[in-house]
Amino acid sequence: MKKNSLKRIVFFSSLVILLSSIILVFYFNYFLLDVVYVNFDFKVKEDKNIGFNLDQDALHFGIIPPGSNSHRDLVLNSEVPARLLIKVFGSNYVYPTKNNFLIEPGESTLTFTASPPVDMPKGNYSGKIRLVFKKV
């Protein structure tokens, strides 16, 4: 009896692993177009000077006084229509102007805003933005 139940456990475990693998392959080949990560950073500081960085290796928001904001544009280029889902990691104060929307083939611009609140401690902040492009 024990040998029979062990065979069932092995069979069902193998079946679950096989089905999971098939679903993942199907998902990545037929629904997911691309996943892109973009770094961002900003400095919260009381300063009469406004700082900015135009390097293209990340979204650099520069020096932002508490209670104000900074905007940066991200240029997107898609060869096919796609649904774009955005998730920001590392800061609750960086966000896109829109999320979960369709982009058409070609080039389009998406604006991100960094908006530290008045009581945010001074310092350097950074994180990542995940852009998930899905087939329509």
Print pLDDT tens along the chain (136 aa).
566 788 888 888 888 998 888 887 766 666 888 899 999 999 998 876 666 677 788 999 988 999 999 999 999 988 899 999 999 999 999 999 999 999 999 989 999 999 999 999 999 999 999 999 988 8
Q: Are strands 32-44 and 59-64 parallel, antiparallel or unpaired?
A: parallel
For 45-122, list the strands marked E by DSSP: 59-64, 70-78, 82-89, 94-96, 101-103, 106-114
Topology (CATH) of 32-135: Immunoglobulin-like (2.60.40)
Residue in 97, 78, 91, 76 with CA at minimum distance from that of residue 128: 91
Q: Is residue 130 a contact partner of residue 83, using CB atoms and an 8 Å limit?
A: no
Q: Dihedral sign for Cα 44, 45, 46, 51, please.
A: negative
pLDDT of residue 94: 96
pLDDT of residue 46: 84
Domain boundaries, the chain: 1-30, 32-135
Confidence (pTM): 0.75
